[in-house]
């Protein structure tokens, strides 16, 4: 009886050991990730006028949607976030207007069609808080991409510092959105 039990255990151990020896491809050797080089500005959409227009529309959308959030939000955290957005984006908008004037470029007092459509949908939303937070993430991601590209490669020495100053503010806003 004992040798039979020993043989069964031995067979089980061998079969499990055979499973463990399954052939797997060797992992690729580690190579340090390379930082992508900044994308050079080549398209007319990234001109000084386009930068002022896009950034101005984003600031205006954030301010208007945040004012709407102060009226419609049911969440104290969302309302606190909205107050911060209004204050911060009035500041970045003022800086953009000030430096834009030096180039005879002023941000528009109207939203671009994409931001206007988002604001219209937000005004009609039945899930206001969730939609507001989603839209804020989207426009802040766009702002980070726009500001980081322009700060690194913008043509205008007047607007590059504006983008560089706005970038950490936009990044902080994205971090705050993670808690909403």
Q: For position 153, which CATH number holds?
A: 1.20.1260.10
Residue 118, in any domain of the structure: yes
Q: Decide if pLDDT at 12 tops 90.
A: no
Environment class of residue 87 by beta-carbon count within 10 Å: exposed (0-12), middle (13-18) or buried (19+)? exposed
Q: What value does the mean pLDDT take over residues 112-138?
A: 97
Contacts of 13 (CB under 8 A, 6+ apart): none
Q: Decide if pLDDT at 74 tops 90.
A: yes
Domain tally for the chain? Answer: 1
Q: What value does the mean pLDDT take over residues 22-29?
A: 52
Q: Decide if pLDDT at 94 tops 80.
A: yes
At 107, give phi and psi (nearest 5°): -65, 145
Mean pLDDT of the chain: 84
Identify the weakest region by mean pLDDT among 45-49, 93-97, 111-115, 143-147: 45-49
Question: What letter does residue 176 receive in the DSSP assignment?
Answer: H
Domain encompassing residue 88: 44-177
CA geometry: angle 108, 180, 178, nearest 5 deg: 85
Quick one: pLDDT band at residue 2, thresholds 50, 70, 90?
low
């Amino acid at each position: 009886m004992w040798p039979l039990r020993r043989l069964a255990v031995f067979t089980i151990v061998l079969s499990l050991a055979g499973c463990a020896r399954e052939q797997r491809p060797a992992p690729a050797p580690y190579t340090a990730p390379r930082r992508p080089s900044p994308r050079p500005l080549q398209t007319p959409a990234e001109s000084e006028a386009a930068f002022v227009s896009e950034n101005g529309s984003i600031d205006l959308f954030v301010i208007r949607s945040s004012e709407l959030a102060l009226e419609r939000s049911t969440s104290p955290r969302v309302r606190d976030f909205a107050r911060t957005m209004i204050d911060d984006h009035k500041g970045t908008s003022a800086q953009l207007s000030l430096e834009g004037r030096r180039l005879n470029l002023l941000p528009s007092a109207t939203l671009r069609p994409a931001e206007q459509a988002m604001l219209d949908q937000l005004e009609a939303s039945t899930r206001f808080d969730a939609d507001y937070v989603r839209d804020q993430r989207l426009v802040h991601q766009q702002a980070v991409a726009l500001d980081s590209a322009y700060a690194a490669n913008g043509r205008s020495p007047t607007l590059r510092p504006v983008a560089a100053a706005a970038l950490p503010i936009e990044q902080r806003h994205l971090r705050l959105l993670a808690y909403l």
